[in-house]
Structure 1
Amino acid sequence: MSDTLALASRLQAESDDALIELLTSRHLAKRDLRDFFDLADALLSPESVSEALSHLNRPTLAALVSGQQSIAGASAYLLAAYASMLLFEADGVLKPYDSVLAVVHSWPAHGLPSVDDLVLVPAPEVPTHSSSDLQAQVDLRAGERAFETTVAVTELIIAVLQAPARELAKGGLAVPDSKRLAVATGLDASQMNAIIRVAQAAGLTFRDGATWFAAESARDFVLLPLGERWGVLAAAWLGALPEQIVSVLQTRVDAVWGENLTDYLAWLYPAGGPELTAQITELTLDAERLGVANSGRASSAGTELLCDSRDAAVALVSAQLPPEVSTVYVQHDLTVVAAGPLRPDLDATLRAIAQIESHSIASSYRISAGSIAKALAAGYTATSIRSFLESISSTGIPQPLEYLIAESSARYGLLRAGSVEAEAGELASSYVRSDDRELLHTIAVDQNLGSLGLVFVNGNRLVSRFGLDTVYWMLVDARYPVIAESGSGTPKTLTRAQPSPPHVVSTTRPVDELVNRLRGSGVQGGADTAEAWLVRQLDLAVKNKSAVLVTVKLPNGTEVAFPMVPTSIASGRMRGTDQKAGVERTLPLASITQVAAVNPVS
């Protein structure tokens, strides 16, 4: 019986959940498959088989091609290969489909191991670290990298929350956004793609089309203690690794990573190819970046992460990280210096009233008239700003800062912006008013505000065709002391609209639709499957005008084979030309027991 027919019958008997898992794992969810025969053909195609074999380790491959392993004693990996439709069961023994064997036997021509090599070629030696290696030095350097990356991811998320980043069509961040994020993180622009990938793996950023957004979980992430933030990133790195690679790392935490580990994994997964090599390279780089490993050796925290628990790893990393501080030095030049990483909640509040200049082990912020104006626009008051700074400053509030807060607070509200109830034919949507006519003239000629099209309607009032939100926030960003007001002149607080992630409408998954289509293909199990298989073969022969050997069961029980070139199938009958007798025959489909391909008879 054909492998395709046997596999199609087996697939029909699978549950919907099993089919969904199969289609997903074999990456066939988006294929245009009409029925179970199409699915069987797709699963047995050389490309699909090769891709599935690339995920199997060497012992599993050796057991697979041997065709002698009983299903009762099969390993979990071999049973997974059976569930992936690479093997079938015959009398309690797991055997590979012919298409699978054909792919493995073709390996030597492509530089891959032969069937004998799968068993006979030993694993390359992976050296372990000698006792002279100093784990403390490895942990120290790993802790530094863990701190650098965690801070960089935090700063990148804050920057993307303020303004999403654009992805190029050819891949990678657009140059302006790379530079902007590099300034925010303090790292080189060439590292931004890797940093945003680390954030994406943790579910903190995501891409929609050509735009990178910060996820909702990112807002909670930036408020976590530094060690916990590292734990989120490290756990995501571990969770993104294929299970088979994790198992290798767990048994080789004392081995030399890098090229030696790459050679061993290439031996263990001989069909992995360039994709496996690229994956190993990426995981190694990210492991070094996160402090899971350093200089080709797993850190103590990395070992705990791989072999014990995230909490144990976080505890070890936290001991290596600089301690968070809750006090700052407020200086006469209006800078605020934190001698260590500032506690996340304090850092978030300080950013609301000051511009961050550098963020590392020691961070610095700068307070200006513009930053005070932004804080006032966000709902802070002079009293609340002063109270917060007094609570965290170990040096009090210098007199220049006192003057700045008082002056900015007094000037705040000198400009008032509101909405215009435009009459028919009027284009004005908002206004800006002030008793300071000189200030209004300055705003009217400010090139940074030229796009607003502000025009005078009287000496104390400008109007714009843009809405209040646009006008107000452009004035705030230009550092003008503006407040928003209602129609009655009462001040009101506006909230800057943040770019929101796109709303994804939930729809039926393609894989669910595919399973429904397969179930509705009209072919049932049992005898109906065999009949449908014969019809499928005859249909292909009609389409290709090819010769087939058709076996027909006669009324007396005997069978006769006719070399035919089918021309049509209709009303339960097949019509075609008998290549041997040179006559046209019409055969009932119910009497046909077998169809086999043959070469046309001259």
Structure 2
Amino acid sequence: MATTFADQLRSLPDEALGALIQLRPDLVVPVPADISALAVRAQSRNSVARCLDGLDEFALTILDAARLSRAADTALTSVDAILELAGTAPAEDVRVAIDRLRVRFLLHGPPEALQVVGAVDEVTSPYPAGLGRPADYLDARAAALCADRAKLRRTVLAAPPGARAVLDRLAAGPPVGALNRPALGPESMAEPIRWLVEQHVLVPISEAGRAPRPDGELVELPREVGMLLRRETGPLGVLRPLPPVPGAPSRDPRSADSAGAGQTMEAVRATEAILETLAAEPAPVLRTGGLGVRDLKRLAKVAGTDEAGTALLVETAYAAGLLGETDAGPNQELFLPTGAYDLWRATGIAHRWGALARAWLAMTRQPGLVGRRDERDRPINALAPDAERAGAPQARREALNALAELDTGAAPATDDLLALLSWQAPRRARGREAAHRDAYAGAALLGITGLGALTSYARLLLNDSGPDETDPLGVHPEDAHADAVRALDQLLPAPVDHMLVQADLTVIVPGPPEPDLATELDVLTEQESASVFRVTPASVRRALDIGYQATDLHELFRRRSRTPVPQTLTYLIDDAARRHGGLRSGSAGSYLRSDDEALLAEVLADKRVGTLDLRRIAPTVLVSPRPVTRLLGALREAGYAPVAEDAGGTTVLSRPKVRRAPSRSPRIAEASTPVLTGPRLAGVVEQLRRGDIATRAARRAPVTVRAAHGQAIPGLTAVQQHTQAMAVLQQAVRDKARVWVGYVDSHGATLSRLVRPVSLSAGYLRAEDERGESLHTFALHRITAAVTEE
């Protein structure tokens, strides 16, 4: 069988062989040595299972039909036999499905003698199309009953209602059930099952590896009975050649884009709020890894999202390299923003969203598992190892591609999309329902979908055209997300460089602020929502601390505000500036001095700063044993406005110290198999052809060379001595003749090659390989035989 299979692959034209490699790229990872090795790999369990995972429900059903229609003596089937089994489906659709199976070499051979690849039976259900094994294989009495079609119909029609319910259940598949188990019904169903066993309609069987019990613990419905019960739907059951069409409401594409763009702004804002909170108050890393539940709730409150949404944003920021761990002491680590966060924050909203969307699509994490319990009944925390899922990127791609294949603006329900995914790839979708639901929830939170429909910029995000055929080496890679970022940037409101100051000291920014304005707002105001900020005495003092003067603040608000600056803000700035620097501190541990002796007396008598242990050393100087930072903090908490100064009396300007975790590369999953097109694909096919020619040529090597390699040779054959081989090579150099050279390579493998010797010196043979148009060098001590070409 393997030789026949290899011969069929070998007879394919280059285009057909390239099509097989494109459909099954795992066959060339790594590239096999020749066509025979490719054939062995194409029939292996892993490769066949991977190929089946990509087939839709109808193609898998037609493959089951091929398995069912095989002749018992030859194990062959035909296109006509498959068409007969799939009689309820259009013949054209069935032929298309058969062609899909043949081009993947799951079926091979001529149409009248098709053969199913052996590994298919090993990696699929032993019950094709949900039908049991033939009756003559299970039991002789059941075979006799099934051979009499009229008696079989009478027996089925005479079955009591309970027994008929069991038959219908087993006929739908799988055809095996157990007595007194939920698969067949409650305990009251045991009597009808016994009736069916007594009538030989059901056959008692045993579980694999266990001896059969006297009462028959398991029962199986013979194939002939199952096909009789399916007389209305057909032997293969209900066939669906076309995918189910979700009943999706249609959204206006512009409305969907607008809603999605608004959600992208909210996702970027929430992510920034989370990272700023962690910068101000880092969260500890749990001993088991991950973020604690209390910290997640704290971040959810700051971001204004629920805990599930916060976990998704935290995981995405970590995957994008914006969040990381840093050492904070012995056996203690903290979650902190990385240095990449500062660069990310300096870009536009569209670019920030692009980084998050790219990381979310590629990260091998499933944030939807956060909050659930693992197999040991322990909660799964955000950023914990338990949320790692290697198949998460593929599940997201599958979910979004299913939505992208629908009409523009379609917004189907999640259950309808899951049904579509289940038809497109039943084997792959089985067990991934939760991952697909998480993918749709994450897409909505990140603005990839708007109003339930896929946005136009998200379609560009998913439109990966693959490698550039004009650049087979990938020297000039293109940013696959650049078009999506540009499209989103056009939908977002233009960045603004102004603000609207209200009389209640609130500041409204009518759009995303420019980077310079955003930096100024961070210093001058406290953020209350996405576009509302508030000026407070503390924010004004913070601005004065980093070097702003009162005149600078007045000018800034006058220049940035499109509304008149309210008088309350002017008074607030002037009052804060007048009080700012009225007290000055230094280290004595620390000291406090002021030209206002009454103010120092007030501080000295203030019980709120009694822990500072202040004492007067001069009419205008107080000292404390506490550090300057503690002195400044306590005085500010008490309502004073001191500033620090150096030893020369110059004011020390300071910004809050920013802590960052070490920068690291984003976590992006690499593709498991390459995408081969154009020159790359042609190169792989050419390599396979060359290897096949070399292998067949090696099989034609002379008997002496093959004997030197230890191959079994019929008859008596003397192994050539090394001196004889050297003499043959020396004569070949003089005559410029071609010789067969047997040698041992650096890996210990015995090989043979037909070459034309050029020189023999310094312990090496240099020879031309005319077939490969290359020059080879052989170490003489590795040469085992040499025979002149006949």
Q: TM-score, normalised by structure 1?
A: 0.59
Instruction: Find the residue that maps to 2:528 and give its secondary structure.
Output: strand
**1:259 maps to which residue?**
415
Q: CA deviation at 1:205?
A: 1.9
**2:26 maps to which residue?**
80
**2:498 maps to which residue?**
327
- CA offsets per residue over residues 231-289 of structure 1, 9 Å max, x none? 33223334447468647845751335733444454566666578744443332222111
**1:385 maps to which residue?**
553
Equivalent runs, 1:459-478 vs 2, <5 Å: 460-466=621-627, 468-469=628-629, 471-472=631-632, 475=635
- CA offsets per residue over residues 320-379 of structure 1, 9 Å max, x none? 4344332222233322222333333212202202222222xxx22222222111111122
Partner Cα distance (2:526, 2:128) in 1: 58
Residue in structure 2 matching 1:204, options 310, 317, 322: 322
The change in CA–CA distance for 1:458 and 1:287 in structure 2 (over 3 A counts) is same
Please say which of residues 241-250 and 153-162 is displaced more in the overlay: 241-250
The change in CA–CA distance for 1:280 and 1:132 in structure 2 (over 3 A counts) is closer
Residue in structure 2 matching 1:105, options 108, 116, 122: 122
Is residue 574 of structure 2 the alignment partner of residue 406 of structure 1? yes
The change in CA–CA distance for 1:469 and 1:77 in structure 2 (over 3 A counts) is farther
The change in CA–CA distance for 1:326 and 1:307 in structure 2 (over 3 A counts) is same
Say what the alpha-carbon RMSD is for the aligned residues.
Answer: 4.5
Partner Cα distance (2:432, 2:281) in 1: 35
The change in CA–CA distance for 1:398 and 1:76 in structure 2 (over 3 A counts) is same
Instruction: Find the residue that maps to 1:431 and give its secondary structure.
Output: strand
Kept in 2, the 8 Å contact 1:201–1:237? The answer is yes
Equivalent runs, 1:539-554 vs 2, <5 Å: none
**2:615 maps to which residue?**
456
- CA offsets per residue over residues 135-158 of structure 1, 9 Å max, x none? 333333323322221221222233
**2:533 maps to which residue?**
365
Q: CA deviation at 1:464?
A: 3.6
Partner Cα distance (1:397, 1:473) in 2: 31
Kept in 2, the 8 Å contact 1:418–1:485? The answer is yes
**2:522 maps to which residue?**
351
- CA offsets per residue over residues 392-446 of structure 1, 9 Å max, x none? 11223222222221221121112222223xxxxxxx4x33444422442376624
Is residue 331 of structure 2 the alignment partner of residue 194 of structure 1? no
**1:441 maps to which residue?**
604
Instruction: Find the residue that maps to 2:586 and give its secondary structure.
Output: strand
**2:83 maps to which residue?**
none
Residue identity opposite 2:24 in structure 1: L
The change in CA–CA distance for 1:437 and 1:112 in structure 2 (over 3 A counts) is farther
- CA offsets per residue over residues 23-76 of structure 1, 9 Å max, x none? xxxxxxxxxxxxxxxxxxxxxxxxxxxxxxxxxxxxxxxxxx999867866424
Is residue 246 of structure 2 the alignment partner of residue 157 of structure 1? no
Kept in 1, the 8 Å contact 2:339–2:662? The answer is no
Kept in 1, the 8 Å contact 2:27–2:38? The answer is no
Q: TM-score, normalised by structure 2?
A: 0.46
Q: CA deviation at 1:462?
A: 3.7
Q: CA deviation at 1:300?
A: 1.6
**2:654 maps to which residue?**
494
Residue identity opposite 2:567 in structure 1: Q
The change in CA–CA distance for 1:123 and 1:305 in structure 2 (over 3 A counts) is farther
Q: CA deviation at 1:212?
A: 2.2
Partner Cα distance (2:663, 2:341) in 1: 17
Partner Cα distance (1:471, 1:68) in 2: 87
The change in CA–CA distance for 1:284 and 1:163 in structure 2 (over 3 A counts) is same
Kept in 1, the 8 Å contact 2:635–2:642? The answer is yes
Is residue 443 of structure 2 the alignment partner of residue 287 of structure 1? yes
Kept in 2, the 8 Å contact 1:373–1:479? The answer is no
Partner Cα distance (2:287, 2:127) in 1: 33
- CA offsets per residue over residues 90-147 of structure 1, 9 Å max, x none? 4542255579899983664899999x99xx9978724267795533333333233222
Partner Cα distance (2:632, 2:23) in 1: 62
Is residue 358 of structure 2 the alignment partner of residue 235 of structure 1? yes
- CA offsets per residue over residues 136-183 of structure 1, 9 Å max, x none? 333333233222212212222333333323455677744554454344
**Which structure: larger Rg?**
2
Please say which of residues 334-343 and 391-400 is displaced more in the overlay: 334-343
Kept in 1, the 8 Å contact 2:396–2:435? The answer is no
**2:176 maps to which residue?**
none
Residue identity opposite 2:347 in structure 1: L
Partner Cα distance (1:123, 1:169) in 2: 53
Partner Cα distance (1:354, 1:201) in 2: 31
Q: CA deviation at 1:465?
A: 4.0
Partner Cα distance (1:443, 1:499) in 2: 34
Instruction: Find the residue that maps to 2:604 and give its secondary structure.
Output: helix
Q: CA deviation at 1:489?
A: 1.9
Residue identity opposite 1:456 in structure 2: R
Partner Cα distance (2:568, 2:450) in 1: 47
Please say which of residues 238-247 and 285-294 is displaced more in the overlay: 238-247
Residue identity opposite 2:122 in structure 1: H
- CA offsets per residue over residues 459-506 of structure 1, 9 Å max, x none? 74242444x3454456557653121111222222234322231589xx
Please say which of residues 189-198 and 168-177 is displaced more in the overlay: 168-177
Partner Cα distance (2:32, 2:395) in 1: 18
**1:397 maps to which residue?**
565
The change in CA–CA distance for 1:369 and 1:132 in structure 2 (over 3 A counts) is closer
Is residue 314 of structure 2 the alignment partner of residue 314 of structure 1? no
Q: CA deviation at 1:389?
A: 1.0
Paired residues, what number? 424
**1:36 maps to which residue?**
none
- Structure 1: 5+ residue runs without aligned partners? 1-64, 421-427, 505-556, 558-602
Instruction: Find the residue that maps to 1:358 and give its secondary structure.
Output: coil
Kept in 2, the 8 Å contact 1:87–1:95? The answer is no
- Structure 2: 5+ residue runs without aligned partners? 11-16, 50-118, 134-172, 174-235, 327-331, 364-391, 407-411, 465-479, 665-715, 717-790
Partner Cα distance (2:452, 2:507) in 1: 39
The change in CA–CA distance for 1:474 and 1:280 in structure 2 (over 3 A counts) is farther
Instruction: Find the residue that maps to 2:660 and give its secondary structure.
Output: coil
Kept in 2, the 8 Å contact 1:113–1:270? The answer is no
Partner Cα distance (2:33, 2:241) in 1: 26
Partner Cα distance (2:661, 2:604) in 1: 39
**2:338 maps to which residue?**
215
Partner Cα distance (1:193, 1:418) in 2: 44
The change in CA–CA distance for 1:139 and 1:99 in structure 2 (over 3 A counts) is closer
Percent identity over the alignment?
25
Equivalent runs, 1:7-86 vs 2, <5 Å: 74-76=20-22, 78-80=24-26, 83=29
Kept in 1, the 8 Å contact 2:609–2:635? The answer is no
Partner Cα distance (2:417, 2:523) in 1: 47
Residue identity opposite 1:312 in structure 2: D
Kept in 1, the 8 Å contact 2:300–2:310? The answer is yes
Partner Cα distance (1:133, 1:287) in 2: 17
The change in CA–CA distance for 1:73 and 1:415 in structure 2 (over 3 A counts) is same
Q: CA deviation at 1:385?
A: 1.5
